[in-house]
Amino acid sequence: EDQVTQSPEALRLQEGESSSLNCSYTVSGLRGLFWYRQDPGKGPEFLFTLYSAGEEKEKERLKATLTKKESFLHITAPKPEDSATYLCAVQAAGNKLTFGGGTRVLVKP
């Protein structure tokens, strides 16, 4: 069965303090790995798709990378508005996504 583990569970950062979130996965036949952002009381919002090891995607202060066993979401010089829960998900067979438990990020000014 597909498994996704995210670490740390929570991260407190000072504004401008760069850090990385980890997503480890076990899946038979990865078709794609996805990062989402979720604000409190809202549905997840799509950020990135990664398909193969070595691939990187960037959006503003966020950069996602992928290896054969894990993905990282790097947050460079974060701002308070980057505070959210970041979710990682994998897709193997079928149309379902298997999500990790998320990393709650709090960026203090």
Point out which residues bind other proteins (CB under 8 A): 4, 6, 31-34, 41-46, 49, 87, 89, 91, 94-102
Q: Using CA atoms, how far apart are residues 74 and 92, in angstroms rounded to an integer?
A: 24
> Least CB distance from residue 64 to other proteins, whole Å?
13
Minimum CB–partner distance for residue 109 and other proteins (Å): 25
User: What is the Rg, in whole angstroms, of the alpha carbon atoms belonging to the chain?
Assistant: 13
Cβ–Cβ < 8 Å for 87, 108: no
Least separation in angstroms between CB 104 and other proteins: 9
CA distance 34 to 46: 8
Nearer to other proteins, 13 or 37 (CB): 37
Tell me whether residue 42 or residue 69 sits nearer to other proteins (CB atom).
Answer: 42
CB of 74 to other proteins, least distance (A): 20
Cis peptide preceding 44, ω within 30 of 0: no
Distance CA 107, CA 109 (A): 7
Cβ proximity to other proteins: between 15 and 56 the closer is 56
Name which of 8 and 101 has its Cβ closer to other proteins: 101
Q: Which residues pair with 14 in a beta bridge?
A: 108
